[in-house]
């Protein structure tokens, strides 16, 4: 579970439980407490409607994460319905890049669900830790992981609606010594083949910095391509070090996503290759039908851009070793061929009136 967008995660004691006992709402459990067949042994995260704890099964000793609805929301029909719906959505997930669901715990004073525990940091934290240090290939590898998980969710008929770095966990694969991305927190997700829930029809949900234009214009029209837009914002941020739109309040951010053009990524990061820039810009098209039409297309485009960058690097080394100028010989020919290969085409930008209700929107 991610930390909230505009709050810091509570400070914790040595046992991993929030130290501020006056926090509102107060943590549901402390170290050593029991819920169902699970013993609480740490604190994992906090959101607007729930806490997430580390726990282990009392007999199998399996380590899990348990997401617990804040007690004061148990009587809130809408929040309770959303919480149960999130668990129901996760039941069908079976993919290494999507957090897996175990079971629902519905007790007298608690509503919770048990899920996979992943040791790692959020992509938000990872990008801060590796700013200016991560190789582009590693960043793109993480995004391909993320997209494979998203493709699985879409195939299960789920639209996430709140993809952002804080909702992606990065862990290390012991057998491969590489970073792996896992999608978490489906709290505002929807079923693609069902009408939008009544409680969400007049609300904008998600996070303003990563929200799609159609979420702002009309939440009824949110689709799989809306998640692709959010991925585009994240990819821009990961490659350029800044988001497409920064330094704006919530309303200004939403207007920018609907109406404004971001700086071209190459203006922010001059070392960016043209093919990857084209990929990023296509994900950020204002209308869904101008973006990649499915996640598989986007994965293919990223992998193609990655191969082009690797080829460019290797031919540069080859040229240096042979004392050739960058445009000399076969390598120059192939670089020229890459530079003039099929380009990505973009449609017109559109704008639409703003929806005024911002109930579930955060920075």
Return the HEC string of 329-343: HHHHHHHHHHHCCCC
What pLDDT sits at residue 25? 63
CB 272 within 8 A of CB 239: yes
What pLDDT sits at residue 175? 65
Whether the predicted model's global pTM rises above the 0.85 cut? no
Taking Cα atoms as reference points, which of 341, 350, 355, 343 lies closest to residue 216? Answer: 355
What pLDDT sits at residue 176? 65
Q: Extract the runs of DSSP E, i.e. beta strands, from the chain.
A: 34-35, 38-46, 50-57, 63-69, 101-106, 111-116, 121-122, 158-159, 168-173, 178-183, 190-191, 205-207, 360-362
Taking Cα atoms as reference points, which of 112, 113, 231 lies closest to residue 161? Answer: 231
The three-class DSSP label of residue 344 is: coil
What CA–CA distance (Å, rounded) separates 85 from 184? 15
Active site (annotated) includes residue 162? yes
Which of 162, 185, 227, 319 is an active site residue? 162
Taking Cα atoms as reference points, which of 189, 184, 192, 190 lies closest to residue 168? Answer: 184
Alpha helical stretches, state H, 186-264: 213-217, 224-240, 250-259
Query: Exposed (0-12), middle (13-18) or buried (19+): which is 192, by Cβ within 10 Å?
Result: middle
Which residues are within 8 A (CB) of 173 and not within 5 positions of it... i.e. 6 or more apart? 179, 180
Taking Cα atoms as reference points, which of 45, 40, 147 lies closest to residue 98? Answer: 147
Task: For 179-238, write each residue's pLDDT tens digit.
Answer: 899 999 998 899 998 887 777 777 788 899 999 999 999 988 999 999 999 999 999 999
Taking Cα atoms as reference points, which of 28, 60, 59, 61 lies closest to residue 44? Answer: 28
CA dist 83 to 6, 22, 66, 104, Å? 21, 25, 13, 10
What pLDDT sits at residue 309? 61
Which residues are within 8 A (CB) of 107 and not within 5 positions of it... i.e. 6 or more apart? 35, 36
Q: Which residues of the chain have pLDDT under 70?
A: 1-25, 174-176, 308-363
What pLDDT sits at residue 327? 42
């Amino acid at each position: 579970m991610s930390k909230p967008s505009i709050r810091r995660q509570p400070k914790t004691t040595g046992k991993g439980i929030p130290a501020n006992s006056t926090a509102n709402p107060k943590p549901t459990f402390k170290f050593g407490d029991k819920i169902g067949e699970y013993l609480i042994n740490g604190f994992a995260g906090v959101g607007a409607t729930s806490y997430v704890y580390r726990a282990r099964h009392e007999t199998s000793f399996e380590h899990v994460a348990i997401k617990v609805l804040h007690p004061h929301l148990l009587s809130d029909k809408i929040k309770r319905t959303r919480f149960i719906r999130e668990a129901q959505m996760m039941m069908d997930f079976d993919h290494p890049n999507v957090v897996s669901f175990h079971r629902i715990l519905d007790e007298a004073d608690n509503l919770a669900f048990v899920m996979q525990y992943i040791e790692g940091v959020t992509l938000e934290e990872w990008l801060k830790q590796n700013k200016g240090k991560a190789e582009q290939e590693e960043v793109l590898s993480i995004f391909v992981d993320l997209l494979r998980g998203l493709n699985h969710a879409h195939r299960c008929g789920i639209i996430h609606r709140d993809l952002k770095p804080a909702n992606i966990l990065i862990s290390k694969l012991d057998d491969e010594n590489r970073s792996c991305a896992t999608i978490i927190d489906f709290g505002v997700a929807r079923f693609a083949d069902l009408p939008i829930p009544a409680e969400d029809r007049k609300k904008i949900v998600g996070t303003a910095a990563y929200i799609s234009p159609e979420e702002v214009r009309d939440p009824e029209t949110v689709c799989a391509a809306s998640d692709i837009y959010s991925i585009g914002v994240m990819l821009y941020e990961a490659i350029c070090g800044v988001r497409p739109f920064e330094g704006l309040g919530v309303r200004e951010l939403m207007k920018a996503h609907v109406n404004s053009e971001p700086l071209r990524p190459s203006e922010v990061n001059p070392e960016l290759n043209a093919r990857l820039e084209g990929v990023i810009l296509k994900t950020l098209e204002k209308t869904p039908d101008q973006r990649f039409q499915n996640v598989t297309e986007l994965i293919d485009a990223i992998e193609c851009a990655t191969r082009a960058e690797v080829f460019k690097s290797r031919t540069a080394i080859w040229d240096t070793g042979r004392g050739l100028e960058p445009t000399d010989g076969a390598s120059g020919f192939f670089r020229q061929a890459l530079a003039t290969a099929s380009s990505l085409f973009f449609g017109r930008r559109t704008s639409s009136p703003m929806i005024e209700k911002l109930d579930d929107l955060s920075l």
